[in-house]
Structure 1
Amino acid sequence: MTAAAEKPGGRGRTAAVTATDLLTATASRIADAFHGSLPVRDLYSPEGARMYDAFTQEDHSEVREFLRLARGCPGPILDLACGSGRLTLPLRALGRDITALDSSSEMLRILSERLTQARAHVTGQVNFVEADMADFRLDHRFGLVLLGATSITLLDRLGRAALFERVNAHLLPDGRFLLTALEFDGCSDIGDETVRVVIAKNGTDPALHLFTEQLDPAQGIRTVSILRQTLHGGEVTHSELFTTRVHTVTVESLRAELEAAGLAVHARHPVATGGSAYRVTLLECSS
């Protein structure tokens, strides 16, 4: 996860749009049922970053696929939109130097805490960079650049073009760029709303998360809302709603945009997701 979409070249959101404008149909009805008492927050706020970190703790999808390909790509690693370390932490097992880049200071803080708690004997250094993934300049190149969690959807077309240009400028001659993307073709529920429940933690207390997402193909957007209800002693003690809106882009469109930026797609790898409404594909690219 990254808050890069808040900046120019990201989601294209205007200052007049608030979190309550970005609710799925179900989330909007839930908010109305609370008669204005339910806090509605941007998923990319500091509070949203902490919720998202807890919400995804048990989600290990795509990690195995990234690690398998990363083993064949020597050199330092750049983990874009690294979030709280969903890829950064397991990548440390490779013993390489890693640069973890995210525009959310809260996510980088969480990652730093996780690294402090991790095993000290793992070799390789992790460097933190707080920057927009579509607008960064580092003083060295990488054998491997990663963009996981289908974070490419945080960017509009201009943002993606800027990202791909920056990636190409930071890849070593034989380096690889790996990114995951959603595939919507063949999904029967396009245009409908999908709902699932995830049980996670809020601190030490259990929390129910009602995850809803809605796809609007005509507008090219996907709206995601998460209602979190924290329980203590079997009773709900706190409810809050997090929401965001991201872009949709087909894998074929991504291939064309990557090639326009001088990046060739060598392979497409399916990703085991488990619970996702859409298929995920990992694209393997080079300059």
Structure 2
Amino acid sequence: MTAPLTDSVRHRLAEAGCVADPSDVYAGDGARFYDDLVGPDRSEIREVLAVARRSGPEVLDLAAGTGRLTVPLLRSGARVTALDLSADMLARLRDAVPPQAPCTFVVADMCAFDLERVFDLVVLGATSITLLGGADRRRLYAAVRRHLAPTGSVLLSVAGPVAVTRLRASADQEIAVETARGRKAYLQSQQVEAGGAARIVNWMPLPLPASPGPVRVLTTRLQLLDAATVSAELREAGFARPAAIPVRTNGAVPGEGMVLLHTRADDGGADVT
């Protein structure tokens, strides 16, 4: 379902005499934009691969998208099952993966899937857990537990403390996105709502047209979650106390922008280290 528009985007469109043509950032043309937007970001890849090398070869990449983690995992020697709700995102991933690569593509809801097998490592990167509300996160945790091998573990990323503070403020900024046709300018507009529990994010191309008409606005709605909240939820869902792995992000002290939480099903043994 397409997320709503921010007040700032509505205002700018109204001033220009334009109307919004909202579209999900994870579907259709949005999948290409998302790939251009996040594809160059190398955050968390090094840390995810370090954990994957200590795990068995069978990896489930949830919310795999266009393969930001899937492709490096395959290159490291893992056998990857890439699962995503968006067939458009997985189609782009298929194009990026060599035909003989040990990769399986699954279009499914990461909160409700049954692959009838287990994995050595389940990964949920790019802070994609923020796509889910509380009830869906509980369903996600249950589905992950069902798919873990006896010695398997789960690795997921959340925003670090500095990033969380920044994300809790409504803000607009102009960004440049490198595309196949060259650099293109967008307004990235973030509006915090639900008492600070969630945020709407829009991307609108700039400049706006000189004459009235429709403008494609890509949208999403994300939850605001920190490491402490997700760690507590994992414990409640039957996982061991997660180990926090600081992630190196550009221009920030490791762990301030992003943290990886690494855990496994709680069998009464020692916590993950």
TM-score range, shorter chain: 0.7 to 0.9
Distance 2:76 2:167 in 1: 39
Partner of 2:195: helix, strand, or coil? coil
**Aligned-residue offset at 1:261:** 1.5
Instruction: Report how far residue 42 of structure 1 moved.
Output: 2.5
Q: Quick check: 1:101 aligned with 2:101?
A: no
Is 1:255 the counterpart of 2:231 in the alignment? yes
| Closer/same/farther in 2, CA of residues 28 and 108 from structure 1, 3 Å limit | same
Shift of 1:29: 2.4
| Residue equivalent to 2:29 | 47
Shift of residue 174 of structure 1? 1.1
Contact 2:164 2:224 in 1 (8 A): no
Q: Which of residues 137, 144, 149 in structure 2 aligns to 1:167?
A: 144
Amino acid at match of 1:107: M
- Residue 30 (structure 1) aligned with residue 12 (structure 2): yes
2:92 is aligned with 1:110? yes
Is 1:192 the counterpart of 2:169 in the alignment? yes
Q: CA deviation at 1:188?
A: 5.4
Q: Are the structure 2 counterparts of residues 227 and 176 from structure 1 closer, same or farther at C-alpha, using a change threshold of 3 Å?
A: same
Contact 1:191 1:217 in 2 (8 A): no
Deviation beyond 6 Å, 4+ runs, structure 1: none
Equivalents in 1 of 2:23, 2:163: separation in Å?
Answer: 32
1:91 aligns with 2:67: no
Describe the SS at the equivalent of 1:39.
Answer: strand
Is there any run of 5+ residues in structure 2 with no aligned partner, and where? 208-213, 266-273
Alignment RMSD (CA, Å): 2.6
How far did residue 219 of structure 1 move?
4.7
Give the partner amino acid of 1:249: L
Q: Can you list the C-alpha shifts for 1:179-215, whole angstroms capped at 9, x where unaligned?
A: 0112457965565323444322443233113223233
Count of residues paired in the alignment: 257
**Cα distance between partner residues in 1 of 2:119 and 2:164:** 36
2:246 to 260, 266, 270: 270
Per-residue deviation, 1:34: 3.0
CA separation of 1:186 and 1:242: change in aligned 2, threshold 3 A: closer
Unmatched 5+ stretches in structure 1: 1-5, 7-17, 231-237
- 2:15 aligned partner, one-letter code: A
| 1:171 Cα deviation from its structure 2 partner | 0.5
1:78 matches 2:60? yes
Give the TM-score of the pair, scaled to structure 2.
Answer: 0.84
2:157 is the counterpart of 1:157: no
| Structure-1 separation of matches of 2:83 and 2:163 | 34
Letter paired with 2:63: A
* Residue-by-residue CA offset, 1:152-186 (whole Å, 9 max, x unaligned): 01111110000000101100111110001124579
Residues 114/172 of structure 1: CA separation in 2 closer, same or farther (3 Å cut): same
Deviates more, 1:34-43 or 1:125-134: 34-43
Q: Residues 184 and 190 of structure 1 are in contact (CA less than 8 Å); yes or no, is this contact kept in structure 2?
A: no
Question: Are 2:187 and 1:210 aligned?
Answer: yes
Instruction: Output the TM-score relative to the length of structure 1.
Output: 0.80
1:84-138 C-alpha deviation (Å, 9 max, x unpaired) = 0000001112212110000100001000001148xx6xxx500000000000001
